[in-house]
Amino acid sequence: MTIFIAADHRGLELKNKIIDYLHEKNIRVEDLGAYEYNIEDDYPDFAQKVTQAVLQNPNDFLGIIICGSGVGMTIAANRHQGIRCGLGFNEQQVKHARENDHINVLSLASDFTNFEAAVKLTEIFIFSKPKEDEKYLRRIKKLDSF
């Protein structure tokens, strides 16, 4: 499994801390930017980089995107067919979203999520498995037909 991660300027610090943490846990992670603080960068650019990477191999790739509110990145990511991005705000919600809604991209809000919470949400996202019951697969199929 590979985790692709990106953030705009508001999520840059949290992204870098998460990358360091994932490296310590020997989880393969690829940084798709931002690489330096630039108040003029635009979150849609980073969401697109992650979604394009995840769509190359949706069975083995996951994405994490970070901006100030998490909302802009979520909107941008969900414009790509085959991407199911959820804004993570607590552990139970992320687990439910990964298992039942098959999210393949997690969006985090750097303005509202501290590092410790972000690590927990990231771990739950990575290690929870989507449920394969017919009703969940049927719903995903419907989403992919839009």
CATH number assigned to the domain comprising residue 100: 3.40.1400.10
The pLDDT tens digits along the chain (146 residues) read 999 999 999 999 999 999 999 999 999 999 999 999 999 999 999 999 999 999 999 989 999 999 999 999 999 999 999 999 999 999 999 999 999 999 999 999 999 999 999 999 999 999 999 999 999 999 999 988 88
Q: Is the pTM of this model over 0.85?
A: yes
Where are the extended beta strands (E) located within the chain? 2-7, 29-31, 61-67, 85-87, 105-109
Residue 67 falls in the annotated catalytic set:
yes
Instruction: Count how many domains the chain has.
Output: 1
Identify the domain containing residue 10 by its residue range: 2-144
Helix axes 91-100, 115-127, angle to 10 degrees: 20
Cα gap 96→107, rounded to integer Å: 15
Identified catalytic residue from 53, 62, 66, 67:
67
Contact 62, 3 (CB under 8 A): yes
